[in-house]
Structure 1
């Protein structure tokens, strides 16, 4: 069977914000770079990030700076973040946003012409640079245009627009190929016709996004089947923080055909309030003790914040996402939910209709077209939806390098930056900051190589047999297995978990993995979605086992991981990271504890001791006291 061969210096898997920024950086470092995207170019899930990119530019409130952003990020992640990543992110986000502007991004502006910034949950100041509620779309448009500009430069210089950067759309990667311990390339196929392709490259950047299609109710699009997480595991890399899944508090709940589609946090950032079926603004009942000094406890105080932010506490609708999602879940379980099983989100009482349409054009259109609801006149029905995984490939903060030589990761597929919970808006700036760093890291790695790795014929043949195996079987229907997996993860490893439920889920996943070995796909390789899903199942099942195993081990509630049988956040677990690894065939998954490195002294003193008492052990507090004393 004929297999295509392509040669590049750097292969970037994924064409969302992280992938495009990584590819641009690698190309700017002079490397021949391939961009492989599972969907059509321009259809990356980044377009669904609507609210904005968090960056402490201080355009709306001059008190904002990187140190405040760093503190907010660490607080949101309950101090389980990779603090070096959080530091780099907070420091570099403004430059990445200004860079986008220089490349042609059309941000909304303040009255004095600066990039406008809006409020979002968990952020102390208005910090999100935005384009209405279509910021992700503008980010992708701008980065794609930058790719085209680079191709035009190459055409003028070499006569070939694809000499240094080339896009391969509708392509799926099934295996990373190695030479010994090092990356040597990637194996996959064209989704249109099933032609197999080997990409020979000494460096691969994973930018594949998340895992949401393992759940029934999700804001994620069809591509999010955990491909990058699984590819990294199978290549010998490790995953961290896999138990932490963010259930965005506001997804559509009606009609059923659109259940889970994202309702941007911008609605709450621009004044939307949450009410239960009794008309009560219930979030005031769910403010955790650790946030009592920063959030309003009465409606009057919360309303006053929108006009006098400098002297008042934020309304509780702007708590971090994990807190809001749990509160909504509690109201629904208590019988105070909306008719279709959510709660009500109302922005019409605070903003005039024209202003809603101006600030939230996508939301207005989305609800009018999909639910026949005019959000300028009536409330939306919303509820939690699987949105984002904080866990991912364990990487080195400064370069995005994984433990496998030649492998890099950025964006949602990488782990550590967000700890146990991501703040809204940090994702888009995360993509830009660490996409750039991963691209630069990959280019520097290639420069250091004495010889290029080689791919053996045996490795290619093994990958070919694995990819074509479902077409040669007449076994189970992949759609049935997928539905069982989604239902089990949604019900047993969802927003609230118990030991019994997670153990049951592990049993289900184990049986599904055994059955998946016999999954068959009727027909040939041309336009065969059953074959595509049969291959995706390997990734979803492997990653789901990592999520469930880590969730069973972490006996506390923190961020995106809530255990009903261990309902409080435990200091004993504060410094513990759970690290997943797998055998080469993916059949054996192990989870080990790893101690989180201590924060650097100049960063720990940015926090107040009274606040740290809520998160740190007595031993850590003693270390803080010693550092603070020396600093003073």
Structure 2
């Protein structure tokens, strides 16, 4: 049995914005770091795809902006389901972390006087979103990549981590294991501290803006290790994704389009957002997504199932300079957005649920830390645009500091060998000429989630989803995974669908528990928000226990 083994102080799973920041900080704290990624290092995370901007209070455009306003906007946007301590960390630290990005070489747009430029984003009372045109995440990853290389951090691409490893007493995490995508050989990592920064799970849905690797593997690994999962029902649908052609369906159309003054228009020629919210196009994402959904459902959508997003009324220079990526993105499919509208519809975008962490980014499992979209708490029931990129840097930084401290006070310990053997046996057991194609099962998961657990939900649909997911879980025991070893996509897909079903079932369970509508979670059978009974987060774990955490301005 081929097993390749590596040893490090800090193991970081995920190479997007949070993972890279964590690795940089841990390395600067004299720790030996390995960053491992299921896809290509630096390129397979969602940070690279993020377009709109990074929220930080500088007051360079709106002098009235303040830390207090950013905190309040974040809490209002999250329907007060946020962890207040984490919100404070996000808001207080995000300006410092942006300045660090500039020290890595990132270039953000500036005003004529040389100060950072800032644009308007939905749900925010001031213009506080810093940006690089509509390529902000890409610019951040360029700088983070350079700093990772300067620090000499080791990176491993195309290794799918499948299991976190405990010590022999099962009291703490001492590493992780998985398989190489190149030849399906097993890889074991020994570490003093482990950080999950593997992102979200947009590919639970057939229409998503996420990178193709985002199937929630890291979240499920933590769940299997005993980590608490929180706010699992909260899945954000970005209001504006591409509709056509089919190959581009779901590809993100940045909120910067609306931030720069774009108008949403139905097929009656009506700018309809005023009917739903006085903030119009700059309402929070949950409201805009539901408004577009309603327009389409009530027959005011396009033939291909969208509405129009227009910037034709804006100066051409503004569109060309501030929305350059959007111009090119639509030019590639034969649409000139300077002279004709885009067609848009909601797309699965960000997961507010995930691993529950404390202020040190540590889970309830010793030596297991997490940062970025794999975690829960900071965004509550709905994330504000611009807070995700800040999240990666603020909590990537904290995870880097705290995992380093843990590594400095911890000795390397051997994992429980029986766990390694059990995981090898599990994966080898998937190699079979079974009945069901893993890719077909994956598509069935997406359709179940889209039909029953998407923008609008009800108890009947959620219960149906539960039954259908249980049936799919049985199919995973009889999958057809051919026996060739090199670049075995069927094996990777089979491992993904096992995790995806677990994650989908947790989302459904939590959605059934929340008998109200709050943020991204909209129950048509319980359409009102109910603070008296449901101003609380639901926490689930693998033992089947359900607990709650009271929320509001004075949460614990």
TM-score (norm 1): 0.86
Structure 2 equivalent of residue 336 of structure 1: 300
User: Any idea what SS the aligned residue of 2:114 has?
Assistant: coil
Structure 2 equivalent of residue 387 of structure 1: 349
Structure 2 equivalent of residue 352 of structure 1: 315
Gaps of 5+ in 1: 152-164, 288-294, 296-314, 584-589, 604-632
The answer on whether the counterparts of 2:432 and 2:483 sit within 8 Å (CA) in structure 1 is no
| Within-5 A mapping of 1:580-599 | 580-583=540-543, 590=544, 592-596=546-550, 599=553
Structure 1 equivalent of residue 336 of structure 2: 374
Aligned equivalents of 2:216, 2:450: Cα separation in 1: 16
User: Any idea what SS the aligned residue of 2:481 has?
Assistant: coil
Aligned equivalents of 1:89, 1:520: Cα separation in 2: 45
Task: Please tell me whether residue 528 in structure 1 is matched to residue 488 in structure 2.
Answer: yes
1:538 CA displacement:
1.3
Aligned equivalents of 1:374, 1:591: Cα separation in 2: 53
Task: Please tell me whether residue 37 in structure 1 is matched to residue 1 in structure 2.
Answer: no
The correspondence for 1:407, drawn from 368, 390, 394, is 368
Aligned equivalents of 2:348, 2:4: Cα separation in 1: 37
The answer on whether the counterparts of 1:17 and 1:143 sit within 8 Å (CA) in structure 2 is yes
1:464 CA displacement:
1.1
Structure 2 equivalent of residue 504 of structure 1: 464
Aligned equivalents of 1:573, 1:463: Cα separation in 2: 42
The answer on whether the counterparts of 2:432 and 2:479 sit within 8 Å (CA) in structure 1 is no
The correspondence for 1:417, drawn from 355, 378, 382, is 378
| Within-5 A mapping of 1:106-505 | 106-151=107-152, 165-179=153-167, 180-287=170-277, 295=278, 315-349=279-313, 351-369=314-332, 371-397=333-359, 399-449=360-410, 451-505=411-465
1:5 CA displacement:
0.8
Aligned equivalents of 1:597, 1:339: Cα separation in 2: 42
TM-score (norm 2): 0.97
Would the alpha carbon gap of residues 573 and 221 (structure 1) be closer, same or farther in structure 2, given more than 3 Å must change? Answer: farther
Structure 2 equivalent of residue 618 of structure 1: none
1:459 CA displacement:
1.5
1:575 CA displacement:
2.9
1:572 CA displacement:
2.3
User: Any idea what SS the aligned residue of 1:558 has?
Assistant: coil
1:546 CA displacement:
0.4
User: Any idea what SS the aligned residue of 1:115 has?
Assistant: coil
Would the alpha carbon gap of residues 110 and 574 (structure 1) be closer, same or farther in structure 2, given more than 3 Å must change? Answer: farther
Runs of 4+ in 1 over 3 A off after TM superposition: 597-601
- Larger CA Rg, structure 1 vs 2: 1
Structure 2 equivalent of residue 100 of structure 1: 101
CA RMSD of aligned residues (A): 1.4
Moved more, 203-212 or 572-581: 572-581
1:517 CA displacement:
1.7
Gaps of 5+ in 2: none
Aligned equivalents of 1:376, 1:41: Cα separation in 2: 35
Aligned equivalents of 2:365, 2:315: Cα separation in 1: 54
Task: Please tell me whether residue 540 in structure 1 is matched to residue 541 in structure 2.
Answer: no
1:334 CA displacement:
0.5
1:196 CA displacement:
0.9
The answer on whether the counterparts of 1:247 and 1:495 sit within 8 Å (CA) in structure 2 is yes
1:115-137 CA distances to partner (integer Å, 9 max, x unpaired)? 11111001111111111000000
1:600 CA displacement:
4.7
Would the alpha carbon gap of residues 528 and 325 (structure 1) be closer, same or farther in structure 2, given more than 3 Å must change? Answer: same
